[in-house]
Amino acid sequence: MSLGRCPRCRSWVDPDKRRWCVGCGDEVPSTLPPSKNIRKTAFQEGSKDAAGAFTLLSIIGALGIMGFIASFFSGHGYMMIVTASSAVVGSVSWIIRTNRRGPGNQLELGCRIILTLFFLGLALLFGLGILLGVTCVRGGGFE
């Protein structure tokens, strides 16, 4: 099965099954030019989207770390919960980004393991920060 594009509206059409275009209603010629390989462009667009999502989650995580430090010293429990949660999100996104598969040697694998353990420690630290924030909200805070 080879799909072609309608010359008028550029909709996907299978000329073997339909004589009329679904998009515009025009008659479809029996031989359409072969369609381009859309798999490569879809992969490229997906990679761009993933990079943009990682950048956004990194910014959220960095702001969460800074906010957590500020709220930790001021003793605000609710802010500690919110900022520690966003810091955990950033740490998890960094773990996922660090452990993407790719060509590498033993040194790169060792560095990846060390970075993963570091980011897991950060996520654990901010997870404990969430518990500390809950404790401050309930009245057992720093006073």
- Which residues make beta-bridge pairs with 13? 4
- Core vs surface per residue 129-139: b (16+ CB within 10 A) or e: bbebbeebeee
Residue 84, classified by CB atoms within 10 Å of its CB into exposed (0-12), middle (13-18) or buried (19+), is: buried
Q: In which band, very low, low, confident or very high, does the pLDDT at 134 lie, cut at 50, 70 and 90?
A: confident
- Distance between CA 138 and CA 66 in Å, rounded? 23
Q: What is the pLDDT of residue 2?
A: 62
pLDDT band at 12 (very low <50, low <70, confident <90, very high): confident
The residue length of the chain stands at 143
- Could you tell me the two tokens for 59? 């910014």
DSSP labels, 86-134:
HHHHHHHHHHHHHT------HHHHHHHHHHHHHHHHHHHHHHHHHHHHH
Q: Helix (H) and strand (E) counts for the chain?
A: 3, 2
The 10s digit of each residue's pLDDT in 15-37 is: 777 777 877 888 877 776 665 66
> How confident is the model at residue 106, as a pLDDT?
77
Mean pLDDT of 116-140: 84
pLDDT by residue (tens digit) across 41-97? 777 777 888 888 888 988 998 898 899 888 888 878 888 888 888 888 888 888 888
Residue 37: its pLDDT value, please?
61
Is a pLDDT exceeding 60 seen at residue 141? no
How far apart are the two ends of the chain, measured CA to CA in Å?
72
Asked if residues 88 and 123 have their Cβ atoms less than 8 Å apart, the reply is: yes
Residue 32: per-residue pLDDT: 62
Question: Whole-angstrom Cα distance, residue 22 to residue 84?
Answer: 51
